[in-house]
A and B are shown apart, each in its own frame.
Chain A
Amino acid sequence: MTDLSAPSFVRQDLVAERAAPAKTTGLIGFVRMRLLNSPGNILLTILGLLLAWYIVIPAIKFLLVDAIWTGKDRTACLADKAGHEVGACWPYIQAKLTQLIYGFYPEAQRWRVNLTYGLGAALLLPLLMPRLPAKALNSGLFFFAFPVVAFFLLHGGGIAGFGVSWTAGLLQLFEQSIGGAGDLLVNLSKSSAIGPLPWVLGKLLVLVGLLIHWLIFPLTWLRDQLQLSSVPVWGDFLLTAVIVSAVLFVLGGGLRSGGRALIGSLLTFAGIAAGIKLMGLDRGGFPIVDTRLWGGLLVTLVIAITGIVASMPIGIALALGRRSTIPLIRIFSIAFIEFWRGVPLITVLFFATYMLPLFVPGNFAVDGLLRALIGVAIFTGAYMAEVIRGGLAAVARGQAEAASALGLSWWKTTSLIVLPQALRYVIPGIVNSFISLFKDTSLVSIVALFDLLGSLRASFSDPNWSTPTTAFTGFAFAGMIYFVFCFGMSRYSLFVENRLNAHRRH
Chain B
Amino acid sequence: MSIAPRKPPLQFALRLKRALGGKAGWNGLAAQIAFAAILAWIAYEIVANARMNLETQHIASGFGFLNYNAGFDVNQSLIAYNNSDTYWRVFFVGLLNTILVSVIGIVFATVIGFIVALCRLSPNLLLARIGGLYVEIVRNLPLLFQILFWYLAVLAALPAPRQSISIFNTFFLNNRGLVVPQPVTEPGLYPFIAALAVGTVLALGLRGYARRALFQRGQMIRIWPYVLGCLVGLPLVSMLVFGGPLKFELPQLKGFNFAGGARIIPEFVALTVALSTYTGAFIAEIVRAGVMSVHKGQMEAGSSLGLSRAATLRLIVVPQAMRVIVPPLTSQYLNLTKNSSLAVAIGYPDLVSVFAGTAVSQTGQAIEIIAMTMGVYLLLSLTTSALMSVYGWRINRSMAA
Q: Interface centre among A52, A177, A347, A359, by most B CB within 10 Å?
A: A347
Query: Restricting to A309-329, which residues have a CB under 8 Å from any CB of B?
Result: 324-329
- B41 contacts the other chain (CB 8 A): yes
Check if A52 sits within 8 Å of B152, measured CB to CB: no
Which A residues are in CB contact (< 8 Å) with B374?
Answer: 343, 347, 351
Distance from A66 Cβ to chain B, minimum over Cβ atoms (Å): 15
**When the two chains form the complex, which single residue of B45, B123, B152, B373 contacts A34, counting CB atoms closer than 8 Å?**
B123
User: Majority SS of interface residues in chain A?
Assistant: helix
| B142:A440 contact, CB within 8 angstroms | yes
Cα distance A445–B50 when bound, in Å? Answer: 26
B141 touches A468 (CB 8 A): no
With A342-B377, A468-B157, A472-B153 in contact, do A44 and B366 touch (Cβ < 8 Å)? Answer: no
CB distance from B168 to the nearest CB of A (A): 20
Q: By the criterion of a CB under 8 Å from any partner CB, how many residues of chain B are at the interface? A: 63
| A52-B126 contact, Cβ under 8 Å, with A344-B377, A478-B145, A479-B145 | yes
With a cutoff of 8 Å between Cβ atoms, the chain B residues found around residue A35 in the complex are 124-126
In the complex, what residues of B have CB within 8 A of residue A160's CB?
none
CB–CB A475/B49 < 8 A? no
- Is residue A457 within 8 Å, beta carbon to beta carbon, of the partner chain? yes
A343 touching B22, Cβ below 8 Å? no
Inter-subunit contact B148/A347 (CB<8 Å): no
From B130, B339, B367, contact of A344 by CB (8 A): B339
**Interface size on A (CB < 8 Å)?**
63
Taking A48-B127, A483-B137 as contacts, is the C-beta distance between A329 and B32 under 8 angstroms?
Answer: yes
Are the CB atoms of A326 and B24 closer together than 8 Å?
yes
* Complex Cα gap A471–B360 (Å): 31
- Find out whether the CB atom of A347 lies under 8 angstroms from the CB atom of B341: yes
A49 to B127, CA, bound (A): 9
For A43, the closest partner residue in chain B by CB is B124
- Are A181 and B44 interface neighbours, CB within 8 A? yes
Comparing B51-59, B79-87, B216-224, B233-241, the segment that makes contact with chain A is B51-59
| A41, CB-defined interface residue at 8 Å | yes
Q: In residues 113-163 of chain B, which contact A (Cβ within 8 Å)? A: 122-127, 129-130, 136-137, 139-145, 148-149, 152-153, 156-157
Which listed residue (A47, A342, A441) contacts B378, Cβ 8 A? A342
In whole angstroms, what is the CA distance A184 to B49 when docked? 13
Q: When the two chains form their complex, are residues A41 and B367 in contact, meaning their CB atoms are under 8 A apart?
A: no
The reply to whether the CB of A51 lies closer than 8 angstroms to some CB of chain B is: yes
| Contact of A442 with B144 at beta-carbon distance under 8 Å, contacts A329-B32, A343-B378, A354-B366 already known | yes
Q: Is the CB of A269 closer than 8 A to any CB of chain B? A: no
Inter-chain contacts of A472 with B (CB < 8 A): 153, 157
Contact B124 A439 (CB under 8 A): no
A411 to B: closest C-beta gap in Å: 12
Closest to B19 in A: A327
Determine if A482 is an interface residue (Cβ-Cβ < 8 Å): yes
Rounded to whole angstroms, the CA-CA distance of A327 and B50 in the bound complex is 30
> Does B39 lie at the interface of the complex (its beta carbon under 8 Å from any beta carbon of A)?
yes
Which residues 191-221 of A have a CB within 8 angstroms of B? none
Contact of A429 with B by CB under 8 A: no
**CB pair A483 B141 closer than 8 Å:** yes
Asked if residues B145 and A471 are in contact (CB atoms below 8 Å), the reply is no
Shortest CB-to-CB span from A36 to chain B, Å, is: 9
Residues in B lying within 8 Å of A, measured CB to CB: 21-24, 28, 31-32, 35-36, 39, 41, 44-46, 48-50, 52-54, 56, 122-127, 129-130, 136-137, 139-145, 148-149, 152-153, 156-157, 338-339, 341-342, 344-345, 352, 356-357, 360, 366-367, 370, 373-374, 377-378, 381-382
**What are 25 of the A-B contact pairs (CB < 8 Å)?**
A35-B125, A177-B41, A178-B41, A181-B41, A326-B21, A326-B32, A327-B28, A329-B31, A342-B377, A345-B338, A346-B344, A347-B352, A351-B374, A359-B50, A442-B145, A443-B342, A446-B342, A457-B152, A475-B149, A475-B152, A483-B140, A486-B139, A486-B140, A486-B141, A487-B136
